[in-house]
Amino acid sequence: MTHLLAGDELPLFFRALEETPPVSIRLNPVKRLPEGQEPAGERVQWCQEGVYLSQRPVFTLDPVFHAGAYYVQEASSMFLCEALRQTVDRSVPLRVLDLCAAPGGKSTLIADFIGPDGLLVANETIRSRAGVLRENIEKWGYANVAVTSGEAEDFARAPGFFDVVVTDAPCSGEGMFRKDPDSTGEWSPENVAVCSARQKRILASAVECLKPGGILVYSTCTYNKEENTDNVSWLSAGFPLELRKLRVPEQWGITETEGGYQFYPHKTRGEGFFIAVLQKTGGEVHKTADANFKNLSAIPKVSVPLVSGWMKKNAELRYFQTASGEIMALPEKWIGEFSVLEKLVRLKWFGVNVGEIKGKDMIPSHALALCHQISTEIQHLDTDRTQALRFLKKETIELPEDIRNGWTLVRHHGLNLGWIKVMPGRMNNYLPQDRRIRMDIA
């Protein structure tokens, strides 16, 4: 840091590391809370959906957090929103790969950026982390998403496939030392060198699967040049890439470097972060083949009305099922792209898991309850905070006398939380066991 920060900046930097980290969230633009219910606080300057909170609440005990109304995200990393806004053409549907996606903060931001007309592939190489990525993607509610767990090299087998590749690469984590002091024990010069080499391997594959004219975003949560500007120089020298400059107001406190943009905690209200944007100037464009799945099959035509009745009437979806019987709803326009992805990686979840058919009935999934495409005509039960938390603890909740038997959406502030099934004299709570609250709600 003595090489990176001159004069009075170094003591200011170290003093900032002793301060309490700011708390920030990013609101879901589709799952809006009623007027007066949105959290109050200063907005993040470079992301209109970002909000600073005055203190850190217990997010686990906030029902709208479980509904996907907001994501708890570090403010500096929300700058991805501004970087994409300045460099990516949104006038056409986009295919975007988030190559190192877990736990999902940047993926959900990208999903908002491309909207329902694009295609997002949220990939996490470490399979043990893919589960939390899938959970956060499901909460956010879009159907035009594939969650995958593959290596960067897997995507290089589809050269020129993506319009945008975001690579928030695994790094030495220097920018997180204030937020996670224990991580300082894992730092060493040797680990920096290992991270830099691993980042180069990942970035080489990222460039390969990017189409000509496409945008590569490279970011880390660290400070050193080896993992940041040196890697950007390596990219520019060895690949057909041009560095893109961004318009950054001086009052934001972001430091422009020779290869990107650096966030320091003594200058910006956030943690340490680095980001660079490059545009590909050559290469080939991938040609999407006809939809031909190996492990998914179209559901029988007689079952389509049974499944589609759970979705909005204008939803342009096609329904497929896995070998285990799970039904997936995929956007019609991206079927060919999903079929390409299926051949690239072994572990993947496509679109929305709608549920499964048993006999003449459809058993809806939890993901369906959280999806933007779910029908608004399904019976629902609005709950107060106490009842909502009881549902989220997978307990029995009180039912009104006039409620009909059958599948019912439990809601809070108009946002879906999950399913119950009402039966004569009782109800079953269908919240997945791994999603239930284990804290005391008193």
Kindly give the confidence (pLDDT) of every residue in the chain, 442 residues in length, as a single tens digit, with 9 standing for 90 and above: 999 998 899 999 999 999 999 999 999 999 998 888 888 899 999 999 999 999 999 999 999 999 999 999 999 999 999 999 999 999 999 999 999 999 999 999 999 999 999 999 999 999 999 999 999 999 999 999 999 999 999 999 999 999 999 999 999 999 999 999 888 898 999 999 999 999 999 999 999 999 999 999 999 999 999 999 999 999 999 999 999 999 999 999 999 998 999 999 999 999 999 999 999 998 888 876 667 898 999 999 999 999 999 999 988 999 999 999 999 999 999 999 999 999 999 899 999 999 999 988 999 999 999 999 999 999 999 999 999 999 999 999 999 999 999 999 999 999 999 999 999 989 999 999 999 999 998 6
The pTM of the whole model exceeds 0.85? yes
What residues contact residue 291 under an 8 Å CB cut-off, 6+ apart? 335, 336, 338, 339
Nearest to 208 by CA among 97, 336, 88: 97
Catalytic pick among 81, 195, 209, 221: 221
pLDDT of residue 378: 97
**Backbone φ, ψ for residue 331 (5° rounding):** -60, 130
Q: What is the pLDDT of residue 152?
A: 97
For position 35, what pLDDT does the model report?
83
Query: What pLDDT is recorded for position 284?
Result: 81
Question: Could you confirm whether 221 is annotated as catalytic?
Answer: yes
Q: Domains for the chain: give ranges and CATH numbers.
A: 78-280 (3.40.50.150), 289-375 (3.10.450.720), 378-442 (2.30.130.60)
Per-residue pLDDT, 359 = 87
Q: Which two tokens stand for residue 159?
A: 């050269």
